[in-house]
Structure 1
Amino acid sequence: MRKRWLVAMVVGLGLVVAQGAQVGLSLSTLNNPFFVALRDGALQAAQKAGVQLVVLDAQDRVDKQVSDIEDLIQRRVRVILVNPTDSAAVVPAIQKANSAGIPVITVDRSAAGGKVAFHIASDNVAGGRMAAQFVCELLKKKGQVVELEGIPGTSAARDRGAGFNAYLKESCPEVKVVARQTANFDRAQGLSVMENILQAQRQIQAVFAHNDEMALGALQAIKARGLKIPVVGFDATPDAVKAVESCDLAATVAQQPVEMGRLAVEKAVEIIKGSAVPAQTRFIPVPLKLVSNSRCKW
């Protein structure tokens, strides 16, 4: 009886400790539906757990994200969740959190250094390979493709590109990347970059963009020239899924940003309640799947 009472008391104490605690979430940008969904998943989990989530938008600026994290440290939040704008540039800020004794969890994009308790993300290399396999099969293992890269320095751009190109090299060597350019995960830049590529490259059979925003921008440029070129994106944002359903976009690799946000907050709450912080970063993968439409003809 006494043992049950002690267990109940410890559980109750953990709930009290979590209630009202502050958790910081530093996002690379909220000018992207993917990260809005990630934030929403985090907010829902925070509300359920009774913790206060402080959300800061870095607006895709490294200097602002560093300043935001320093602000969270000054606020003495219990855990900091970081979606890095730049995997290397964010390291000094993470190290400052480490020195202040505040655990750090990275979400969607990893950090190149500093002590991180958990990394919650899709396997972006696997997602890149998934996109490459789809393109390879669509082109019957031969053709010329364009790759629109994300923000240089982000783990998502690096890993998605690595997976895509590794698959082509290993399994589909006659599908060649004839143009590779960054559009910084941005729809407007995806449009302008694709316009320039279409002027320089007359024979393009497919496009792979590291996210849906760039894919939708590229699609706009392709349509403006009266062409029909299959475009594959990454993230499965609502706009992209609608475009797949209408046979405008060929496919998108579906992540689960809401789930990422939820898991990040749940891990933060576990830490606040007294769970041991891992000595080395624990990667928590969030499943991926390809969203395509078999009714479409390419």
Structure 2
Amino acid sequence: MLKRSKLFLLTLTIISAILIVFSYKQFVDKKPKVVFVLRALDNQYWEIIRAGVEQGCKDFRVDGKIMAPDNDTAAEQIKMLDNVLEEHPDVLVVSPVISADIIPKLEEFVKKNISVLLIDTDEPSVNKAAYIGTNNVELGRKAGALMASMLHPGDKVALIGRESPVERERIKGAKASLEAAGINIPAETIEIAIDDKQQDQKVNKVMETILKIHPDLKGVVTSTDYLAIPVVKILQEQGLTMPVTGADGISKMVELVEKGTLAGTVAQNPYDMGYLSVEAALKVTKGETIKRNIDSGVDIVTKDNAKEKLDFLKKVLK
């Protein structure tokens, strides 16, 4: 009888140990659920961010879900956020469409104890855990300094941006650097809508007007590569050569530098932006303290490093 009791206790102990190990393994293997709601996925800039997110989810073992509205509107993003809220993820990482309607929607996540991280686009009034992205004023300053380094005091430079708080900050930073270097700024526009389907045509009209009034223009600073590329095209059509800077580091812009069409440009790091957002989300789920602003940095792209940049983009976008 005693032997049977000992055998029973031994068997019970083994089973208990197995159950404990199994339960612990399930706990350890449980991946935090993070949903990434981007503004769009229809151009290379956002594709690069997605590549960084995907790699980050693999490296940090995060259950990540990436989505974006078909069109860059607050109404579509709010619908998407409503659906995400029902899923109740551990963390929401979102690049908010600039709209007052988005803010109360994001606050609903906070009220349900779902941490909110902002990526690419900051919104000071949102109760967020952190912003991961570019210091846009600093990006503008670097763009202005780069442009000034290729010109002389008194030369004329045009500033072209879109209707966006982010791009206004870039133009503001560029203007500060250019004026400090003694560069003349005879033309400045930030009236192009960020979602304008005829953006290239609008850029053409803006440049035609600027060149007509200021035929001695020496350079153009734009708030995004998606403005810089059509600017370069119209300059080429008119047989003009001058420095033009963008902001995003997409392949087409880097190729212009690599080929020698442009001497240089500045570039955000969208891949790092995506990758760092995953790392920050994981830390939040663990209750770790993270920085309120996580700067993904700005690169200066020149002939010396353009090929390296292109090779990297080809690798992450394959």
TM above 0.5: yes
1:18 and 1:49 in contact (8 A); partners too: no
Closer, same or farther in 2 for the Cα pair 1:185/1:144, shift >3 Å? farther
Q: Is 1:109 equivalent to 2:121 in the alignment?
A: yes
1:30 pairs, out of 35, 41, 45, with: 41
Closer, same or farther in 2 for the Cα pair 1:89/1:138, shift >3 Å? farther
Closer, same or farther in 2 for the Cα pair 1:38/1:173, shift >3 Å? same
Higher Cα radius of gyration = 2
Query: For 2:197 and 2:252, how far apart are their aligned partners in 1?
Result: 15
> SS in structure 2 opposite 1:205?
strand
Residue matched to 1:217: 230
Describe how 1:42-191 pairs up with structure 2 within 5 A: 42-58=53-69, 59-86=71-98, 88-150=100-162, 152-154=163-165, 156-169=166-179, 171-184=180-193, 189-191=198-200
Residue matched to 1:192: 201
> SS in structure 2 opposite 1:145?
strand
Residue matched to 1:268: 281
> SS in structure 2 opposite 1:115?
coil
2:159 and 2:185 in contact (8 A); partners too: no
User: Gaps (5+ residues) in structure 1?
Assistant: 1-8
Closer, same or farther in 2 for the Cα pair 1:227/1:267, shift >3 Å? same
Q: What code does the residue aligned with 2:277 have?
A: A
Closer, same or farther in 2 for the Cα pair 1:168/1:51, shift >3 Å? same
Query: For 2:285 and 2:24, how far apart are their aligned partners in 1?
Result: 11
Q: What code does the residue aligned with 1:292 have?
A: T
Residue matched to 1:234: 247
Query: For 1:140 and 1:15, how far apart are their aligned partners in 2?
Result: 65
Residue matched to 2:310: none
Residue matched to 2:259: 246
Closer, same or farther in 2 for the Cα pair 1:212/1:264, shift >3 Å? same
Query: For 2:230 and 2:195, how far apart are their aligned partners in 1?
Result: 8
Residue matched to 1:4: none
1:91 and 1:113 in contact (8 A); partners too: yes
> SS in structure 1 opposite 2:271?
helix
Q: What code does the residue aligned with 1:57 have?
A: A
User: Gaps (5+ residues) in structure 2?
Assistant: 1-19, 305-318
TM-superposed deviation, 1:187: 9.9
2:152 and 2:183 in contact (8 A); partners too: no
Query: For 1:48 and 1:249, how far apart are their aligned partners in 2?
Result: 36
Q: In percent, how many aligned pairs have the same letter?
A: 24
Query: For 1:189 and 1:286, how far apart are their aligned partners in 2?
Result: 30
Closer, same or farther in 2 for the Cα pair 1:16/1:270, shift >3 Å? farther
Closer, same or farther in 2 for the Cα pair 1:51/1:88, shift >3 Å? same
Residue matched to 1:6: none
CA deviation profile, 1:131-188 (whole Å, cap 9, x unmatched):
11121222212222222213x244x21321221122223x134421413134445797
Query: For 1:221 and 1:187, how far apart are their aligned partners in 2?
Result: 19
Q: What code does the residue aligned with 1:254 have?
A: A
1:185 and 1:211 in contact (8 A); partners too: no
> SS in structure 2 opposite 1:236?
coil
Residue matched to 1:207: 220
> SS in structure 2 opposite 1:234?
coil
Residue matched to 2:295: 285
